[in-house]
Amino acid sequence: MRVYIAMNGSPGCLPDSATAFTSRKAAEDHLIDMFEIQRTKLAGILRRDGILYFNEKQAHEFGAQYCEVADDNMTRKEFEEYNEY
């Protein structure tokens, strides 16, 4: 099944957090809510590009340098186990 992984952190490192969703919109909404960027230009960039790099001030405020929605394929069992951790 196709899944969408919402993740954030620092480039070149393992993500600080990663959660799998069954829809791209749900993954985007999760990140938009997490970083409290509803109804902002940043939310639009994330939805359009699937990735958002924060500037230095934003990175300090949010505690992350980027957030991203990546698509992947998993079995139902893998999906359920992925979100258990």
Range of the domain at 39: 2-82
pLDDT for residue 21 is more than 70: yes
Q: Residue 83: what pLDDT?
A: 87
> Structurally, how many domains does the chain consist of?
1
Residues 6+ apart with CB under 8 A from 11: 65, 66
* 27-53 confidence digits (pLDDT tens): 999 999 999 999 999 999 999 999 999
Q: Residue 85: what pLDDT?
A: 67
pLDDT mean across residues, the chain: 96
pLDDT for residue 7 is more than 90: yes
